[in-house]
Amino acid sequence: MLQMQIPKEARVPDSPTPLIVATWSFSARGCRKVFPELLSGSRALDAVCSVAREAEADPSIDSVGFGGLPDATGQVTLDAAVMTAPERCGAVCAVARHLFVTDLARKVMERTSHVMLAGAGADAFADAMDMPSTDLVSPAAAQAWQRWRVGEPVGGPRDAGPSSGQLFASPTTSASAHAPVRHPKERETPHDTIGVLAIDRFGALAGACSTSGMPFKLAGRVGDSPIIGHGLYVDPEAGGAVATGTGEMVMGVNGSFLAVECMRRGATPGEAVHEVLTRIERRFRPQSHQQVALIALSRTGEWSAGALRGGFIVSCAQASGTEMLQPNFVMHPEEAVDGPHPADAGGGS
């Protein structure tokens, strides 16, 4: 049984030890599965891609991969990014026919001179790479869209139990027998991004993020997740950061890039995350149901996480085990996001 604890920023004065940190407790299963390989010498990039792939394949998670909720037209489109350095990054967005978009983003990074491919072009590139195509709309997601289309309630506070990875619940949807672990205190917030950071035994950093985007979004909408410097940024000279929550707010301040630049100037990961959240709050004045959270990892293996409001959970895998952790700080601990508001732009990254 995974236990939730309140972490402290672990300072690593000498060489870093392998570590994986990821957004939301539904990433815990992937972190736990992948970490032994990282500990035994696999690369950070392989680790972050594998953790993201675990979430993409799980139909019980309705905010990432298969199971992700559709846009306003009923189509599911996926976004992802991977990064190890400013000169080594790749991304895809609005992918409509291929499930493992984190792997696809990695192929963009490794097989092309480009950084991002979009829409039909990204799908065509996946075909050229012999990646299997598939229907991305799960039965549960199709049913949720039908209810939303006719005005029936789809979102809002709910009690789907501690093992649910679903952002929305209804009597016609249920978590699978292999549903991702969710801590009972994790509130059902608009969290449509899995963001993963890792450091390996060689000191290399890597990051990945993957999402199905805002539920019932306008067709063509792309949030912060696949955009380098917004939802994800990694620079081995300073550190890495990932963001989750209201994507438009993260985009407005180049959230992950800002966090890494703060660390470059000498800020701790906690100070860097605090700077980003403070700037978002000052510029956007988020409403009570809107959430933004970040994880930052320094080049020496120190990490921290923070959120505007309660409900955010971090999964962390290290030599002592895999845990679900509360963020190091919450800007407004007296407030917690109780349920998603799909009609609002706060629907996610």
Query: In this structure, which amino acid lies at residue 339?
Result: G
Secondary structure of the chain in HEC code, one letter for each residue: CCCEECCCCCCCCCCCCCEEEEECHHHHHHHHHHHHHHHCCCCHHHHHHHHHHHHHCCCCECCCCCCCCCCCCCCCCEEEEEEEECCEEEEEEEECCCCCHHHHHHHHHHHCCCCEEEHHHHHHHHHHCCCCCCCCCCHHHHHHHHHHHCCCCCCCCCCCCCCCECCCCCCCCCCCCCCCCCCCCCCCCCCCEEEEEEECCCCCEEEEEEECCCCCCCCCCCCCCCCECCCEEEECCCEEEEEEECHHHHHHCCHHHHHHHHHHCCCCHHHHHHHHHHHHHHHHCCCCCCCEEEEEEECCCCEEEEEEEECCCEEEEECCEEEEECCCEEEEEEEECCCCCCCCHHHCC
Of the spans 1-10, 112-121, 154-163, 285-294, which averages the highest pLDDT? 112-121
The pLDDT score that the predictor gives to residue 333 is: 85
Above pLDDT 90, what percent of the chain? Answer: 74
How confident is the model over 318-330, as a mean pLDDT? 95
CATH number of the domain within which 263 lies: 3.60.20.30
How confident is the model over 193-201, as a mean pLDDT? 96
**Residues 169-186: pLDDT tens digits?**
333 333 333 445 555 544
The pLDDT score that the predictor gives to residue 289 is: 84
As for how many domains the chain has, the answer is 1
pLDDT at residue 239 tops 70: yes
**Residue 149: which domain range?**
15-347
The pLDDT score that the predictor gives to residue 349 is: 67
The three-point CA angle 70-75-77 to 5° equals 80
Does residue 162 form part of some domain?
Answer: yes
**Residues 273-313: pLDDT tens digits?**
999 999 999 999 999 889 999 999 999 999 999 999 999 99
**Residues 308-318: pLDDT tens digits?**
999 999 999 99
Which range among 141-145, 173-177, 248-252, 277-281 shows the weakest confidence by mean pLDDT? 173-177
The pLDDT score that the predictor gives to residue 154 is: 76
pLDDT at residue 4 tops 70: no
- pTM of the complete model: 0.86
The pLDDT score that the predictor gives to residue 315 is: 96
How confident is the model over 258-282, as a mean pLDDT? 98
The pLDDT score that the predictor gives to residue 16 is: 77
Does residue 263 form part of some domain?
Answer: yes
pLDDT at residue 155 tops 80: no
Does residue 4 form part of some domain?
Answer: no
The pLDDT score that the predictor gives to residue 164 is: 38
The pLDDT score that the predictor gives to residue 15 is: 66
The pLDDT score that the predictor gives to residue 348 is: 55
The pLDDT score that the predictor gives to residue 48 is: 98
Secondary structure of 211-238 in HEC code, one letter for each residue: ECCCCCCCCCCCCCCCCECCCEEEECCC
Rounded to whole angstroms, the Cα distance separating 140 from 75 reads 13
pLDDT band at 120 (very low <50, low <70, confident <90, very high): very high
Which range among 68-72, 187-191, 258-262 shows the weakest confidence by mean pLDDT? 187-191
**Residues 36-58: pLDDT tens digits?**
999 999 999 999 999 999 999 99
Does residue 149 form part of some domain?
Answer: yes
**Residues 62-104: pLDDT tens digits?**
899 998 999 999 999 999 999 999 999 999 999 999 999 999 9
pLDDT band at 338 (very low <50, low <70, confident <90, very high): low
Does residue 9 form part of some domain?
Answer: no
173, 193, 211, 268: the active-site residue: 193
How confident is the model over 143-157, as a mean pLDDT? 81
The pLDDT score that the predictor gives to residue 334 is: 79
Does residue 3 form part of some domain?
Answer: no
The pLDDT score that the predictor gives to residue 183 is: 56
Q: Are 295 and 23 in contact (CB under 8 A)?
A: yes
The pLDDT score that the predictor gives to residue 340 is: 40
Q: Is 112 a catalytic residue?
A: no
pLDDT at residue 147 tops 60: yes
